Amino acid sequence: MIRNVARLGGVPVMDLPDCYERWWGRIPVSHVRGDWLGLSKGFDLIHSPFQVHVKRLMDIALSVGLMIISLPIIIAAAIAVRVTSPGPILFKQQRVGQDGRNFTVLKFRTMVTGSETGDRYTAKKDARITPVGAFMRKSRLDELPQLWNVLRGDMSFIGPRAEWDELVSTYETLIPYYHLRHIVRPGLTGWAQVRYPYGSSVEDARMKLEYDLYYIKNQSPMLDLMIVLRTIRVVLFGVGSR
């Protein structure tokens, strides 16, 4: 009632989610109501077929171009993994993609074989990470095989991080609106990745979801460019790597 009177009196009034969105670049899921999601402006990445098609065409062009340019690095990285640690060159894991569909993500293996049976989260100076793997993680070279995932349409260059299916089932029961991050393709990089450090808890997953929802709601070429520039900073300085 007071809010309506204030608005009619010409006083600007913002809901808490709108305030967080404007000043902190995230959407607080614990304060979001269903009608706010339905009536709030934005979400062009879902409602604009033209924008979706343009983004997909750019993903295809960039993935092909980068695979060609980075081919010598890809070959060198594959050889380095093979000769320094016994086991497969590629790490494969089931991740949840758009519309909740599972796909197999590809990365260069950075841990000793059999590490997937241990702790779900990677700790600082994790003993399971090989010396070559530590360098590849810090430089993000381990993610180069995901260019194939982008070309296939499993992923986009920019979007929410593709999460392990075993963790998703847990997060969806504990975090409100977690399923909404699956209405778009997951990305190699994203707003959450450049705004929040590596997470290893349910609370970290909730915070990253809030940044992911901000991106889904406000996606634009300018925001994508900002994410790319921040990603370059992360790659150059190893910020948030583990």
Query: Within 13 A of 173's CA, how many CA atoms are on the CB side?
Result: 5
Helix, strand, coil % over all residues of the chain, rounded to 5? 60, 10, 30
For residue 131, the enclosing domain spans 60-237
Cβ-contact 151, 62 below 8 angstroms? no
Is 5 a domain residue? no
pLDDT, residue 144, reads 96
How far is CA 229 from each of CA 111, 114, 222, rounded to the nearest angstrom? Answer: 29, 35, 11
Contacts of 108 (CB under 8 A, 6+ apart): 77, 78, 81, 89, 90, 91, 133, 136, 141, 142, 143, 144, 145
Contacts of 143 (CB under 8 A, 6+ apart): 107, 108, 188
Torsion of CA 236, 158, 163, 202, to 10 degrees: 80
pLDDT, residue 14, reads 65
Nearest CA to 210 out of 46, 40, 19, 29 is that of 29
Is 26 a domain residue? no
Is 73 a domain residue? yes
Element (H, E) at 138: helix 131-139
pLDDT, residue 222, reads 92
Nearest CA to 213 out of 165, 176, 174 is that of 176
Is 20 a domain residue? no
Is 59 a residue whose pLDDT tops 60? yes
Token pair for 72: 């010598």
How far is CA 62 from each of CA 26, 104, 151, rounded to the nearest angstrom? Answer: 28, 20, 9
Q: What angle do CA 58, 60, 62 make, to 5 degrees?
A: 65
Angle formed by the axes of helices 16-24 and 202-218, nearest 10°: 90
Is 12 a residue whose pLDDT tops 80? no
Give 75-123 pLDDT, tens digit per residue: 999 999 999 999 999 999 999 999 999 999 999 999 998 777 667 777 6
pLDDT, mean of residues 56-78: 97
7 versus 227: the higher-pLDDT residue is 227
Is 52 a domain residue? no
Is 31 a domain residue? no
Give 121-142 pLDDT, tens digit per residue: 776 778 899 999 999 998 899 9
Token pair for 94: 């089931």
Element (H, E) at 96: strand 90-96
pLDDT, residue 50, reads 87
> Coil, strand, or helix at residue 161?
strand
Rg, the chain, Cα only: 20
Per-residue pLDDT band for 56 (boundaries 50, 70, 90) equals: very high
Q: What is d(CA 40, CA 208) in angstroms, rounded to the nearest whole number?
A: 20
Report field, pTM of the whole predicted structure over 0.75: yes
pLDDT, residue 126, reads 81
pLDDT, residue 42, reads 74
Is 32 a domain residue? no
> Coil, strand, or helix at residue 40?
coil
Is 203 a domain residue? yes
> What is the tally of structural domains in the chain?
1
